[in-house]
A and B are shown apart, each in its own frame.
Chain A
Amino acid sequence: MKDELEAFAKDALEQIQLASSAQSLEEARVHYLGRKGKITEILRGLSQVPEAERPAMGQAANQVKQSLSEAIDARKAELEAVSDANEGEPADFSLPSRRRSEGHIHVINQVTEEILSIFFELGFQTATGPDIETEYYNFESLNIPADHPARDSHDTFFVKPGVVLRTHTSPVQMRVMEKMQPPVAVVVPGRVYRVDNDASHSPMFYQIEGLLVDERVSFAELKGTLMLFVHRFFGKTAKIRFRPHFFPFTEPSAEMDVSCTVCQGKGCRVCKHSGWLEVLGCGMVHPNVFRHAGYDSEKYTGFAFGLGVDRIAMLRHAIPSITHLYENDLRFLEQF
């Protein structure tokens, strides 16, 4: 019995080694280890064995079973390694892949979100107001009375007497201040409109307004806030300068320039050889604006700024004409 078992084991191990495919190996497994296989037969035959030898024989048979099982696993691993290496056509990785269609957020909104997120970090929140505004909010409340020369630079679309397409996002300043008491820290993204249409002007464009009102807000903080914005958005090497300007709703007023992103300040066509790009207008909220809002201008001070997103998007991505932004050509939109 013992010899028979040894001979069987030797033969079985050889056969397992000879199996040349996963299929023949599986056949061998069924043949030797299956429910109706040889080992089962042998173990059943133990009842014929004298009782004294039975434990030893049983143990031996189980050892054989164990070693066959291991041999099969080992052979299986060998066969798998061979098939992994050799089966199937090698993939040609130079072939085009299968990608999902990509979506794109419009470049204006990408830039808007990026700008807003910088101000969110500082503690500003979004406010909005209507595109179609009253003259009061768009002009009078912002210290631009009727017949003020500053209206000349706001070529205004009229809807009906007293109602206009807003020429800037500044009316939202007033709407917000009417709604809440200081501290106010808002950024206002939105469409604005001017009667103007050429390669650098669109009758509709996009602005972001900022307003901070609290006790003791200073021009130095205006500079600090906008400096942080510029460094985050244009990079740490961007230089800025503030120079005096005039806006009816701020006093003192300033325009902020950023060193030209094209020539790094050396002077080029884009910056009209000045080395600087005019990026936004800003200033300390005019006391008359506070008066319209019902704020005490002795107690509160504030700053406001407004920037044109179209221009910033064009600068950032070297877009040559504003018409691209509103043409909705997918060959353009899919670039960003």
Chain B
Amino acid sequence: MKISLKWLKDYVDIDVTPEELAKQMTMLGLEIESIEQVGGDIDHIVVGQILSIEPHPDADKLVVCRTNAGREQPEQIVCGAKNMKVGDKVPTALLGATLPGGFKIERRKMRGIESCGMMCSARELGISEDHGGLMILDPDMTIGQDIKDALGIGDVVFEIEVIPNRGDWASMIGVARELAALYGKTCRIPALDLKESGEAASAVASVTIEANELCPRYIGRVLKNAKVEPSPQWLAERLIAAGQRPINNIVDITNYVLLETGHPLHAFDCEKLAGHQVVVRRASAGETINTLDGTLRSLQPEMLVIADAQRPQAVAGVMGGAESEVGEGTATILLESAVFHPISVRRTSRALGLITEASQHFQRGADPEMARYAIDRAAQLMQEIAGAEVLSGALDAYPTPAPVREVRLRYARCNQILGAEIAPDIQRQHLASLGFQAQGGDDTSVLFRIPSWRNDVTLEEDLVEEVARLFNYENIPTVLPHIQPSETVLAPQETRIRALRRFLAGEGLTELYNWTFSSPEAVQKAGLQDTCGDMVTLENPLSEKQATMRSSLIPGILANAAHNVRHGRSSMAVFEVGPVYLPEEGLPTQRQRLAILLAGSLEPKHWGRPQTPVGIFDLKGILETVFDFLGANVRFEAGTFGPMRPGQTAQLLASTTPVGWCGQVRANLLRGYDIESEIFLAEVELDLLLGREKAGRTFSAIPGFPPVLRDLAILVDRNVPAGEILKAAQQAGGPLLREADIFDIYIGKQVDANKKSIALSFVFQSETQTLTDSIIQKQTENIQKRLQKDFGATLR
């Protein structure tokens, strides 16, 4: 909503600067989107009169004018406009003038003829969009007068954002009322002085409401012999200041009154209404209407229409029909001012895809009292401006007047909610200034009657907010609460996820953060169509690429890798922690997952040492540290998984429960991402692992006796998993075996083709004695025997 300061001052005295006013409005809740100084940058432009117009000798489209701008000599100005004649007065920019936007007027030659100024259109002055030609001024204006004074431009226009519950603010009077309350002044609502003529309106037309529940009040007024013509300048200017385009006096007056009162009006050509009847009813099935925007629209029975005796003539509260539109030939106008049910208007407007000024006002709720004022105000202006004859009596159908609404305010409750000490009489005073009428009360509370324009106020809390607004939020104290700790821990897993992020970053991995949208194409591209194809689908996605909610982190993280490869990155160690969504009856299941992707090398480049390329065991290592960190026991078991290379893929198992996959991504899949390097990737279900309480740890004694080291090299079949050998050795080594490790694996010419050599190292240590050779010997023999028995291992 655009608020012209000049116009606003019609209703309330404002003694502060525009900047100060903007601050005060902001603190009342009237959020200022922008402040525009209209005409503020116009300088050196005066009223000029055209003395002569001659063709330009070298340009068909230009003319050479001599214009009297009130100086000693007329100005010679070359001009491209066509709409002026000799004797017209026009805005004339002199040498050195600035136009809105900073354009400077200088002496220049146009096709060989010197031009010493410029005559302006209304758009060039920044006061309207009209660029049809020069702005032809009132012939009575004084030559040489500054155009800002002549036109009365030079205004401040505030663009305010009207919050959804304060429909009354979408009007000049609404804003003025608020400021009057703040300043303790009176809001001057223009007095009505409507002169009705003899004939009774009811003799000419009738109003019937058939759908009371959707239309609590409908007022019609009949006007005759209005002269439809352009609006006077003051009216046109006000509409322009409010960002509207003047059309003709009748339409402009309805728009003006809408801006002034916030109440939408509609004018029908009464002669076009069959039977001169207005019937407010629901549309019948199959009915259509040709609306003012030239569109034929099908109506549904839940839509409210304004019909004549035969057919709909307007969609109630949304848009009028073309058939009964007021035009130059209109002799009798039926003016409408009504209150329509907000939800009905909203639904109809949405169903028709037709959001209008009127529908936006009505869906916020209209004021039944203002409906009456607005129609009388408009009728009066039509009388004054368009010479209309207003027939006697309003056709006011108001079957059930809105009930009086009253809400009690307890002073102590108000102070308790606000945490302030506002004296009862100050509380009362603030509310009274806003039009809330005290209906009597006592020392502790008071009952207020709610003004008709405040349909947002229904509860005591609403009154508390009003007190707080006028008291000013800034004046409410600032106090720290005493928060009682709670025994319930609501989201313990969140703490662990935060710790996991820090841990992974500490391990040198960088966190990614993707939108949680996905698509079947993205899933297919990542080779996941068999495992993750079942997705939550959006009814109204932004695009095909975001048609579903993600079912895996893998498509996202691969796309991220591709993005970074495309921008020249070869090494990456990245992770993402976040939700995936799996379809269910009712709400989908949401699971926290972790994805890790490695490429290139984990070491930064260095002059002193070559980089080690990353491998599957780097990935396994990072996963193991994550599982250790989470206190989870997870096995890696060879398996197959869509996106990954056979033989280079392991399933992750927490005891027997699958918790994810890791492996090397297939090259032919990576080609789809234009990635040529090796990519190692894992995705892990976190919920299962986070849910486990990390086992408490108990101290074990630090050995005081020296460790003894032994190595053992064995030959086994190539397909024997090394991890199994290590595990068996650990079991066979007994309590003295502190550590067992594999320090070398050999496959090659030195051993049989189907064999591999595994070199194991052991650390033996006792907590009670220094170990002798014979004890160690016995232990290593045990290990050796076990490996021979389980795996056919021979000593190498």
Contact = CB atoms under 8 A, between A and B. Distances in A.
Nearest to B27: A243
Q: Which of A103, A214, A223: most chain B Cβ within 10 A?
A: A103
A243 B26 contact: yes
A58 interface: no
Contacts of A334: 510
A105 B513 CA distance: 10
A4 B478 CA distance: 97
B164 interface: yes
B420 A101 contact: no
Interface string B148-163: 0000000000000001
A122 interface: yes
Contact of A106 (B342, B512, B563, B572): B512
B235 to A, nearest CB: 30
Nearest to B515: A204
B37 interface: no
Contact of A218 (B418, B502, B569, B574): B418
Interface in A107-140: 108-109, 113, 122-128, 130-134
Interface stretch (B28-36, B257-265, B635-643): B28-36
Contacts of A252: 417-418, 461, 464-465, 468-469
Contact of B542 (A96, A108, A122, A203): A203
Given A130-B588, A245-B29, 12 more contacts: A101-B602, A101-B603, A123-B483, A149-B342, A149-B346, A183-B484, A195-B542, A241-B27, A251-B459, A252-B417, A253-B465, A328-B512
A241 to B, nearest CB: 6
A44 B625 CA distance: 63
B587 A130 contact: yes
Nearest to B494: A126
B609 A244 contact: no
19 contacts: A96-B607, A103-B506, A123-B484, A127-B490, A130-B588, A149-B363, A150-B164, A157-B541, A158-B538, A176-B490, A191-B579, A219-B417, A220-B418, A223-B477, A244-B28, A246-B29, A246-B166, A252-B461, A333-B510
B777 interface: no
A106 B501 CA distance: 9
A203 B27 CA distance: 31
A236 interface: no
Interface of B: 26-29, 31-32, 34, 163-166, 342-343, 346-347, 363-364, 416-420, 459, 461-462, 464-465, 468-469, 473-474, 476-481, 483-486, 488-491, 494-495, 498, 501-502, 504-517, 536-542, 546, 549, 560, 563-564, 567, 569, 572-574, 579, 581, 586-588, 590, 602-604, 606-609
Given A95-B607, A244-B28, A251-B459, A330 B564 contact: yes
A223 B504 contact: no
A125 B342 CA distance: 41
A132 B581 contact: yes
B461 A328 contact: no
A200 to B, nearest CB: 15
Nearest to B495: A126
A105 B478 contact: no
Q: Which of B481, B603, B607: most chain A Cβ within 10 A?
A: B481
Contacts of A163: 586-587
B418 to A, nearest CB: 5
Contact of B474 (A102, A147, A241, A329): A241
Q: Which of A105, A150, A191: most chain B Cβ within 10 A?
A: A105
Interface stretch (A13-21, A22-30, A66-74, A224-232): A224-232
B513 A326 contact: yes
Given A109-B513, A245-B163, A102 B346 contact: no
Contacts of B485: 123
A80 interface: no
B483 A228 contact: no
A184 interface: yes
A191 B363 CA distance: 31
Q: Which of B364, B498, B560: most chain A Cβ within 10 A?
A: B498
Contact of B419 (A102, A159, A220): A220
Nearest to A147: B343
Q: Binding site of A, secondary structure by majority: helix, strand, loop or mixed?
A: mixed
B502 A105 contact: yes
A105 B505 contact: yes
Given A159-B538, A179-B490, A333 B563 contact: no
Nearest to A190: B579
B601 to A, nearest CB: 9
B469 A158 contact: no
A101 B507 CA distance: 8
B478 A330 contact: no
A220 B477 contact: yes
Contacts of A184: 486
A224 B468 contact: no
A119 B488 CA distance: 17
A99 B27 CA distance: 54
A326 B515 contact: yes
Contacts of A274: 32
A216 B590 CA distance: 36
A203 B517 contact: yes
Contact of B484 (A100, A105, A214, A327): A214
Interface string A204-220: 10000000101011111
Given A132-B588, A221-B419, A185 B476 contact: no
Interface in A160-174: 160, 163, 165
A272 interface: yes
A122 B479 CA distance: 13
A221 to B, nearest CB: 4
A237 interface: no
A252 B140 CA distance: 54
A86 B342 CA distance: 92
Contacts of A191: 516, 579
A301 interface: yes
A288 to B, nearest CB: 8
A296 interface: no
Given A103-B573, A180-B488, A254-B473, A331 B512 contact: no
Interface in A259-309: 272, 274, 284, 286-287, 301
Given A130-B587, A219-B419, A244-B29, A152 B513 contact: no
A224 B513 CA distance: 33
